[in-house]
Amino acid sequence: MAFEGLSERLQSALSKLRGKGKVSESDVKAAMREVRLALLEADVNFKVVKDFVARVSERAVGQEVMKSLTPGQQVIKVVNEELTQLMGGQQSKLDLSSKPSVIMMVGLQGAGKTTTTGKLAHHLKKQNKHPLLVAGDVYRPAAIRQLEVLGDQIGLPVFSLGDQENPVEIAERGVAQAKEEGNDVVLIDTAGRLHVDETMMDELKAIREKVEPDEILLVVDAMTGQDAVNVAESFHQEMALTGVVLTKLDGDTRGGAALSVKSVTDCPVKFAGMGEKVDALEPFHPERMASRILGMGDVLTLIEKAEANVDEEKAKDLERKMRTQQFTFDDFLEQMDQVRNMGPLDELLGMMPGMGQMKGMKNLQVDEKQLTKVEAIIRSMTREEKQHPEVINASRRKRIAAGSGTTVQDVNRLIKQFSDMKKMMKRFSSMSKGKKKKGFGG
Ligand code: GDP
């Protein structure tokens, strides 16, 4: 999970302050020592750590915190605010005002440039844009084919002239085609190299001169920590980047690149790659990232994911069924599918506030195999059994277990869980009815 290691260390450093009625300067000092170590261990740039700790310490022993009724919470609030600042403060959006807007994607080989080009096009398509992808990575074998496959998958056109043509020519003609065809965004995938080198930079500059991009986005692999920051610095000096995309954040437990890139290069992170699939790209929201790191959850992203993946009508229907106790195993399966569409479950759990601190939850690994088992059991039920689980007697249980390759105990457990869940829904729905009567405002 993203930032797991850093998150754990920071939360443990701050946990001693949480809920304290009185916080002394030495309490703050001790906590800050641990925060400093946690950040250094997360591979955050040394100078960035030093400045960060100095700023937090200064504010934490100030009036605003010490005089408050909940100084421990206030220190955490300060850390949250400063982490947000570190990552750029506000969300930094793409400039898509030109018609067409030209976005040039640059980066080293293997960083995830081609994948990200596809993901970003998909993201823009969902916002009713009509992007054209331009296959300009003539250097890495198979990059052009990869982009064409991605284009097919997301239903977007790809402009390509093969790998024998000059990349400057490809970019220029790609943009010309977009103008002709009325595409409002052009995403140009360019050729990377294994290391920052002059030939690559010269080639990129030549493209930049010809197509005058509105955005130059650098794609870097977050898991490479300070190396990613150094790469960003070199590219920014040469190319005047407009933004950074951090890929592979899903596998980055440390977070050093995410926390240092903006402060070191002064170039904002605009997107984060959270997986290999084409929809695993998130706009980078510093304040939400800070909350996730501090275990305060990220409810906003969770809601956005739900809105993007869950059919509103179906959700309403489900809500009604839950309220009226008509929830069946069919509904259960459907709900499982919808949740799965939103992304890996441990990632989703990490966005729920307090999950990090809950006993036992920290090490909770959502077992996808277990879910597959549940699915197999339900799929082995007859229509009648799914709709009316009460008919499932002992011999039916045996048959279901055999059909799904599980045991009778597995089947028993699922049926028991399902019935407990229904009871809980009943309790919730009567609770919320009570609340509605009284009114929320008091
Ligand atoms: P390029 O050489 O920069 O164009 O790199 P690719 O786009 O081919 O990506 C290299 C590898 O990184 C591929 O296996 C991608 O699936 C993988 N990748 C890219 N972005 C992400 C991400 O956000 N998360 C994960 N887990 N893998 C990614």
pLDDT at position 357 is: 52
Residue recorded with tokens 């986005």: 217
> Quick check: 222 and 258 in contact, CB under 8 A?
yes
Domain ranges for the chain, please list them. Answer: 4-86, 101-296, 303-438
Per-residue exposure over 376-397, b if at least 16 CB sit within 10 Å of its own CB, e if not:
ebbebbeeebbeebeebeeebb
Question: How many residues belong to the chain?
Answer: 442
Sheet holding 158-159, edge to edge: 158-159, 131-135, 185-189, 101-106, 215-221, 243-247, 269-273, 281-283
| Angle in degrees, 0-180, between the axes of helices 71-86 and 286-293, rounded to the nearest 10 | 130
pLDDT at position 442 is: 31
pLDDT at position 362 is: 47
pTM exceeds 0.80, yes or no: no
Pocket test for ligand 1, best of 247, 277, 347 (most atoms within 8 A of CB): 247
Backbone angles phi, psi at 95, to 5 degrees: -95, 105
> Quick check: 224 and 250 in contact, CB under 8 A?
no
pLDDT at position 225 is: 93
pLDDT at position 294 is: 85
Please give the distance, rounded to the nearest whole angstrom, from the Cα atom of residue 38 to the centre of ligand 1. Answer: 28
> Quick check: 304 and 321 in contact, CB under 8 A?
no
Pocket test for ligand 1, best of 115, 138, 148 (most atoms within 8 A of CB): 115
Cα gap 294→291, rounded to integer Å = 5
Report the largest interatomic distance among the alpha carbons of the chain, rounded to a whole angstrom.
75
Q: Under DSSP, is residue 405 helix (H, G, I), strand (E, B) or coil? A: coil
* Arch. (CATH architecture) of 303-438: Orthogonal Bundle (1.10)
**Number of Cβ atoms within 10 Å of the Cβ of 272:** 23
How far, CA to CA in Å, does 138 sit from each of 160, 170, 241, 252, 351? 10, 10, 22, 29, 39
User: Is 414 marked as binding a ligand?
Assistant: no
Q: Which residues contact 110 (CB under 8 A, 6 or more apart)?
A: 192, 194, 221
pLDDT at position 36 is: 95
What are the CB-based long-range contacts (under 8 Å, 24+) for 327-330? 327/421, 327/422, 327/425, 328/386, 328/387, 328/388, 328/389, 329/378, 329/381, 329/385, 329/386, 329/387, 329/389, 329/418, 330/386, 330/387
User: Is 153 marked as binding a ligand?
Assistant: no
How far, CA to CA in Å, does 69 sit from each of 21, 23, 30, 64, 141? 7, 10, 21, 10, 62
> Quick check: 353 and 7 in contact, CB under 8 A?
no
Please give the distance, rounded to the nearest whole angstrom, from the Cα atom of residue 339 to the centre of ligand 1. Answer: 24
Q: Which fold has domain 4-86?
A: Four Helix Bundle (Hemerythrin (Met), subunit A) (1.20.120)
pLDDT at position 393 is: 95
Helix (H) or strand (E) holding 210: helix 198-211
Name the CATH superfamily housing domain 101-296. P-loop containing nucleotide triphosphate hydrolases (3.40.50.300)
User: Is 107 marked as binding a ligand?
Assistant: yes
> Quick check: 207 and 122 in contact, CB under 8 A?
no
> Quick check: 118 and 126 in contact, CB under 8 A?
no
Print pLDDT tens along the chain (442 aa): 678 889 888 888 888 887 677 888 888 899 999 999 999 999 999 999 999 999 999 998 887 777 777 788 888 889 999 999 999 999 999 999 999 999 999 999 999 999 999 999 999 999 999 999 999 999 988 999 999 999 999 999 999 999 999 999 999 999 999 999 999 999 999 999 999 999 999 999 999 999 999 999 999 999 999 999 999 999 999 999 999 999 999 999 889 999 999 999 999 999 999 999 999 999 999 999 998 888 777 767 777 777 777 777 777 777 777 777 788 888 888 877 777 777 777 777 777 665 555 544 445 555 667 788 888 999 999 999 999 999 999 999 999 999 999 999 999 999 998 888 777 777 766 665 554 444 333 3
Cα gap 116→118, rounded to integer Å = 5
Cα gap 22→15, rounded to integer Å = 14
User: Which residue has a Cα nearest atom 12 of ligand 1?
Assistant: 112
User: Is 354 marked as binding a ligand?
Assistant: no
| Structure tokens that stand for 332 in this block | 């259960």
Domain pair 4-86 / 303-438, same fold: no
Q: Which atom of ligand 1 is nearest to the CA of 115?
A: 7
Query: DSSP strand E in 274-417: where?
Result: 281-283
Q: Which atom of ligand 1 is nearest to the CA of 140?
A: 2
